[in-house]
Structure 1
Amino acid sequence: MTQPAADRFELVTIRLPIAWTFAALVAGLVLGLVLSNTAAIETIVGISAPVGTLWLRALQMTIIPLVASLLVLGIVQMTAAARAGAAARRFVLLVFGVLILSGLITAVLMPMLLAAFPIPASANGLLGTAPDGEQVLPGLADFVTSLVAPNIIAAAAETSTLPLTIFFAAFAVALTRLPDTQRMNLLGFFHATANAMLVVIGWVLFLAPIGVFALALGVAATSGTGAFTALGHYILVVSAMGGVVLLVAYLVAWLLGGIGLLTFARSVMSSQAVALSTQSSLASLPAMLDSSGRLGLRNSTAEFVLPLAVAVFRATSPAMNLAVAIYVAHLAGVELNPAILAAGIAVAIIISIGSVSLPGSISFVVSVGPIAMAMGIPIEPLALLVAVEMLPDIMRTVGNVTMNVAVASVVDRVNTGAEG
């Protein structure tokens, strides 16, 4: 019941200056605050703004080709897993159920949370160079017809993310129907494209301390001390959505896996500790296998489900990525109707499958960017928010690891019942 080796691909490893980027964010905010009331601030911002804009555009140019490649590889990998047997199909169905619930949680709760704890007025500076202008909400007919692009090249040029996502998802499924030689040739192309884009985005993110410093300087000059408050508010609100998914993991293990809440909590604690310290689901895999043993799950189930979950399953991604998009939408005054939220959920779910095995900073840009584009939300604030992603990423990893073990318990219980 293992996934065919021919359909597994390894992406290049990129080391990112996360600590330096966070330090540059703080340094830019502090310097901008100190100089905000001086005569030199306009000259300094006039120099730093183009630097920040260039870095932001370099970041944006990698999104479409990288997302398309990772989406194809991720969906092919998921399809191959679903064909590995009945247990795999149950796992895939459960994964999609959890991902849909994850997106719905944020679509319902995030607006309520922002209504109860509004975004600080000082957060407007985070918008940076986001374009102004009144948003025109599409009608239902316009929304439905926009799902399919008559010209995929034009859709890419216009960064029409939703039809692009649908096209490449359909393309990936079609690949699985091709003869082995043709399928592997095309998959090799997308694998090489993804790795090439990862190298480029690695170069761009290596310069993140410079770009973030330049952008933060302008934000602090506009917002003053409120920039720190705004970023703190953002971190707490977005992390709260991941916290809800974490709580859902306990309910999944209890209601669907038949495991007592206290038993599950004690058994999964060691996995959560590793996730907290490493911020890596892959590094937490041995601890997850140990937690599964403590829960009494069969080795055959745990050794199949957990590595596959690490590869293709990010339970918190739809919730937290959509939360970022909704936060920026409220910040920019973008009205969100049910159709736009539905589009955001759909893209968030599909993209979460394609953002596998990526460092937090890269997956943040690759995952949230397409969601924001599909919802008509400016992506400029992402250039600053990526600098603090290391903090919400802790909640992402802990939530993902906990849900992985919970899902393994459900698959094990279903398999036991099926064999009985």
Structure 2
Amino acid sequence: MPHSEPQALSLPDVRVPAKWTLGGLAAGLLLGLVLARDGGAPGIVAAADWLGGLWLRGLQMTIVPLVVALLVMGIVRTVAAASAGRMAAYSVGQFIAVLASGTIFAAFAMPALLRIFPVPASAAAALSGGAMGGPPPAVPGLLDFLTALVPTNVIAAASDSAILPLIVFFALFALAITRLPLEPRLQLSSLFEAIAGAMMVMIGWVLKLAPIGVFALALAVAAKSGTAAIGALAHYIALVASIGLVVMAAGYGLARFGGGIPLGRFARAMLPAQAVALSTQSSLASVPAMLGACNRLGLRQTSGEFVLPLAVAVFRATGPAMNLAVAIYVGHLAGVAMTPPVIAAGVVVALLTTLGAPSLPGAISFVSSIGPIALAMGVPLGPLALLVAVEVLPDIVRTVGNVTLDVAVTATVDRRAATDRG
């Protein structure tokens, strides 16, 4: 395999109307509250239910092919990165350690937060009832769970949206691609990149209609549940964002103990990069500011110029932890039993689907990353269609946390490289 630094994926630039989507949510909630106060209008609520459900089906139809294509591309690129030299291999090892630690933390912390700060019953019904949810699925036993990981028919697994066996198959398929000669490896990589690009165009079309779809869903929910829906959304934002904030705080500990940088010095050096991340909600746009932070921290130029682009290409520090937290939250709303096998399925899928995931707009990454986790855990996808409207707020925490961990990992790799040479 050629030793080259992973490059950004040449996927289409899909714009998502985040402000209009948030506006559609607010308008739908307000109109729904008016209808609830006036006794409701069954015809309007039924029409909104149908329209919102149709938009949700449009989101769902793209999840499996998009996730499969991104998974194959991500694994191929991660393996390529790890084979690009000693520093690259150590960097990828650090990425995986951070991602695994954050995801395992979320697996324990989110259920604990939901026990300490439970969702009010009326608020839970607001987001999980009716067309938004459904009866919780039966929880399989451990042996059944392990047996189901190996699909006997991958086509049948895809048609049933059995995401975990699909991920197992395509993860192995991606590893097999990395063992092929250069020409067929590039051909298959290009094929899956093209599939991912086409799916992104399709999901972009669906998300352009997000203001209408979210308006319809919010209207139906608020008309049935009143102000409880607003309380549920605020509760959701607070809990999911808190998981991201803890992961981000761990970046300061990594910089201190892994990179040997005093906390105050690291915090001051990170402020400009975090400001850019806060304003742009883009790790890619924050790269120049992150390089500046590396310079202020006295890291070697070679470390910053190699590890940071690598981190932006294959590392989303807050991604799996916050994605798993969302799936657990929605599962809690829907009454899905969070048994060890269910949580384990979520952890595995959260980790695998984040490897090498490209930098996408918040709404698209929300659907493509959390959808497969929810499917693997038996969590209904319906509530995600409403929660995507408020993703702009947790996404700020995601981006600032990712930028902080990118520099912290760069400092750790720089210290390790200096030790190896010394």
Query: Which TM-score band (shorter chain)?
Result: over 0.9
Structure 2 residue aligned with 1:43: 43
Structure 2 residue aligned with 1:147: 149
Structure 1 residue aligned with 2:31: 31
Unaligned runs of 5+ residues in structure 1 are none
Cα contact 2:22–2:389 (8 A) shared by 1: yes
Cα contact 1:8–1:77 (8 A) shared by 2: no
Structure 1 residue aligned with 2:385: 383
Matched, 1:22 2:22: yes
Cα contact 1:20–1:209 (8 A) shared by 2: yes
Shift of 1:3: 5.8
Separation (CA, whole Å) in 2 of partners of 1:188 and 1:81: 17
Query: AA paired with 2:170?
Result: F
Cα contact 2:7–2:313 (8 A) shared by 1: no
Separation (CA, whole Å) in 2 of partners of 1:46 and 1:155: 33
Structure 1 residue aligned with 2:416: 414
Structure 2 residue aligned with 1:165: 167
Structure 1 residue aligned with 2:236: 234
Shift of 1:9: 3.2
Cα contact 1:32–1:217 (8 A) shared by 2: yes
Query: AA paired with 2:216?
Result: A
Q: Secondary structure, in 3 states, of the residue corresponding to 1:297?
A: coil
Structure 2 residue aligned with 1:291: 293
Matched, 1:183 2:185: yes
Shift of 1:120: 2.2
Structure 1 residue aligned with 2:97: 97
Separation (CA, whole Å) in 1 of partners of 2:282 and 2:117: 30
TM-score normalised by L of structure 1? 0.97
1:80-159 map, 5 Å: 80-123=80-123, 124-127=125-128, 128-159=130-161
Cα contact 1:364–1:386 (8 A) shared by 2: yes
Cα contact 1:7–1:80 (8 A) shared by 2: no
Q: 2:337 aligns with which of 335, 339, 358?
A: 335
Q: Secondary structure, in 3 states, of the residue corresponding to 1:66?
A: helix
Unaligned runs of 5+ residues in structure 2 are none
Shift of 1:39: 5.2
Judging changes above 3 Å, is the alpha-carbon distance between structure 1 residues 173 and 12 closer, same or farther for their aligned structure 2 residues? same
TM-score normalised by L of structure 2? 0.97
Deviations 1:242-281 (A, max 9, x none): 0110111111111111111111111111111111111000
Structure 2 residue aligned with 1:10: 10
Structure 1 residue aligned with 2:400: 398
Cα contact 1:344–1:372 (8 A) shared by 2: yes
Matched, 1:280 2:273: no
Shift of 1:7: 7.2
Cα contact 1:7–1:76 (8 A) shared by 2: no
Separation (CA, whole Å) in 1 of partners of 2:170 and 2:221: 37
Cα contact 2:375–2:381 (8 A) shared by 1: yes
Deviations 1:215-251 (A, max 9, x none): 0001101121111111011001000000110111111
Separation (CA, whole Å) in 1 of partners of 2:282 and 2:133: 35
RMSD: 1.4
Q: Secondary structure, in 3 states, of the residue corresponding to 1:381?
A: helix
Shift of 1:135: 3.3
Matched, 1:257 2:259: yes
Separation (CA, whole Å) in 2 of partners of 1:305 and 1:141: 41
Separation (CA, whole Å) in 2 of partners of 1:40 and 1:376: 32
Shift of 1:5: 7.2
Shift of 1:130: 3.9
Q: Secondary structure, in 3 states, of the residue corresponding to 1:281?
A: coil
Cα contact 1:70–1:355 (8 A) shared by 2: yes
Query: AA paired with 1:258?
Result: G
Judging changes above 3 Å, is the alpha-carbon distance between structure 1 residues 134 and 13 closer, same or farther for their aligned structure 2 residues? closer
Separation (CA, whole Å) in 2 of partners of 1:130 and 1:40: 18
Structure 1 residue aligned with 2:372: 370
Query: AA paired with 1:159?
Result: S
Judging changes above 3 Å, is the alpha-carbon distance between structure 1 residues 116 and 6 closer, same or farther for their aligned structure 2 residues? closer
1:292-331 map, 5 Å: 292-331=294-333
Structure 2 residue aligned with 1:195: 197
Judging changes above 3 Å, is the alpha-carbon distance between structure 1 residues 242 and 7 closer, same or farther for their aligned structure 2 residues? closer
Separation (CA, whole Å) in 2 of partners of 1:116 and 1:362: 31
Deviations 1:304-344 (A, max 9, x none): 01011111100101110001001011111111111111110
Shift of 1:357: 1.5
Judging changes above 3 Å, is the alpha-carbon distance between structure 1 residues 7 and 24 closer, same or farther for their aligned structure 2 residues? closer
Shift of 1:13: 0.2
Separation (CA, whole Å) in 2 of partners of 1:311 and 1:3: 15
Query: AA paired with 2:74?
Result: G
Q: Secondary structure, in 3 states, of the residue corresponding to 2:392?
A: coil
Identity %: 56
Separation (CA, whole Å) in 2 of partners of 1:379 and 1:355: 21
Shift of 1:354: 4.6
Cα contact 1:268–1:291 (8 A) shared by 2: yes
